[in-house]
Structure 1
Amino acid sequence: MSGIVFVVDDKGAKKAVIIDLKKFGGVWEDFYDTLSAQSRAKERRESLASVKRRLQRKGEYND
């Protein structure tokens, strides 16, 4: 496939990939965004109201 090169070890196993970002930058960005979202999926969530209260206590937010 033009614009994608696989880096292989001496046994032919794929170890890395080189992507032409001019050609596939949008696809890479979508892929990376999906990975980032999945890595944060189990993080504790905090409501906007609690963030505002915490910042107000620290003097870093005025409503």
Structure 2
Amino acid sequence: MKRFHEQYIIDEKGQKTAVILPIEEYEELLEDLHDLAIIAERRDEPVIDFDELKKRLKENGIIQD
């Protein structure tokens, strides 16, 4: 698991109220969140096995033998 380089903003009581991340880490988190949303949306789609996938890709000229 990736280690983040976060910094916290705290209030006068010492409670964490916000977090600061390097922009690259923030963008990676957004990308991961987007990927998870796509997976959740497609959860109920029908599934095909690997051989059927290869067959379809060959028929559509996407891959060759």
TM-score, normalised to structure 2, is 0.47
